[in-house]
Amino acid sequence: MSELVVKSKSAMGPKVGFVSLGCAKALTDSELILTRLNAEGYQTSKTFHDADLVIVNTCGFIDDAVKESLDTIGEALAVNGKVIVTGCLGAKGGDGGENLVRQMHPSVLAVTGPQATQQVMDAVHAAFPKPHEGCNHRCTFCIIPSMRGDLVSRPIGDVLREAQALLEGGVKELLVISQDTSAYGVDVQYRTGFWNGKPVKTRLLELAQALGDMAQPYGAWVRLHYVYPYPSVDAVLPLMASGKVLPYLDVPFQHSHPDVLKRMKRPASGEKNLERIQRWRETCPEIIVRSTFIAGFPGETEEEFAHLLDFVREAQIDRAGCFAYSPVSGAVANDIGGMLPAEVREERRVRFMAVAEAVSTAKLKRRVGATMQVLVDSAPSMGKKGGTGRSYADAPEIDGVVKLLPPEKISKTLKMGEFTRAKIVATQGHDLVALPI
Ligand code: SF4
């Protein structure tokens, strides 16, 4: 199952808090559960408070460990309320043979013993069904399709209705998220749906157009994520140039060399990506291209890696993330052969990031002196001491931010969730520093 999701910033996949107590064996269990959660589209939370539910992997070896585990469960229940317990203590009996954890904390959602990944996942699914995002591709390094199945497009009327409700609720930024947003509607042959009594095709272009029209009266932003560089995406660029949707595309290229892309079985691997980006920039000079890459994929030669570095420079990728290749259990890429030593993979990642950061910061510096529209994310004391926000070039949580200085005008205030104009006065790493005007 899969879907195209239109979400507000705060409404991405359910968040799971995780506490791992105990020995190395327990840690392995924790890693297995976290890998499954991640592959199924759940997010993790660092605090009990921000999580939708908490998993506590317990230890029952000595009295101190039992106490620590029971105390942690109690704390998670008090702060969050939804708690799943796993690990050795979960298998321990209490007085009268009843399960000890249940005896001490009857309100926990589920209790399992150690090595019970599937039971823990069943309990998580029961509390928060897994996010419905799948994928039609079969990239060799990825296990998402085997866990979540093929892409299933949500009816366009449902997506637009959800977007309308978010805008009416005051949301100022709509993020379009899926495993492959450019493939929206492929599974239903781009069938015609209905919105406000009017026919509208289940397709990226029509969706972006409708969202742009809908967001305009609210002054809200529409941002597209996970779009592959198919020729059909070119048609969306005029919407960006005209300001209907943000001139921002999140395109996970992963590599540039055709042979590596083939080994990865990447979508659109036969496309001429560099030329495509150059054409996008001609149609919409303001466009920001964000991407992620993998360094040190099995069999990657130094020449193929150098091709990737050249691509980042020539394509002027505005925002880039990079992972050193790391085998995922169950992925086809593990059998390709040519696995590079971990030091080489890491060394290439570091070299990649140095090039990508040089490109990115040089582009940021060119913004100094410009005036930009900034969506305020935080502004204590009405912004009298400044705050933080984001421009169209910054997606929440993955890109940089705009650090807002205290306004010079006494009457000027900043409010979370509202827009301000700001003059860019400096850069700080990946961030901009700006004076609200
Ligand atoms: S496009 Fe590839 S990497 Fe992305 S979810 Fe699909 S199979 Fe995985």
Residue nearest to atom 8 of ligand 1 (CA): 142
Report pLDDT for 3: 36
Q: Which of 148, 179, 184 to mutate to test the pocket of ligand 1 (most atoms within 8 A of CB)?
A: 179
Closest protein CA for atom 2 of ligand 1: 139
Pocket of ligand 1 (CB under 6 A): 135, 137-139, 142, 144-145, 179-180, 267
The DSSP secondary structure of 122-153, one letter per residue, reads HHHHHHSPPP----S---TT--HHHHH-S--P
Q: Pick from 1, 3, 139 the residue to mutate for probing ligand 1's pocket: most ligand atoms within 8 Å of its CB.
A: 139
How many Å apart are CA 317 and CA 286, to the nearest integer?
Answer: 13
Compute φ and ψ for 324, nearest 5 degrees.
-75, 135
Position of tokens 């029209």? 213
Q: Please, are residues 118 and 147 in contact by the beta-carbon 8 Å criterion?
A: no
Q: Which residues of the chain have pLDDT under 70?
A: 1-12, 131-132, 270
Instruction: Give the pLDDT confidence score for residue 397 in this predicted structure.
Output: 82
CB 207 within 8 A of CB 215: no
H runs (alpha helix) in 316-379: 342-365
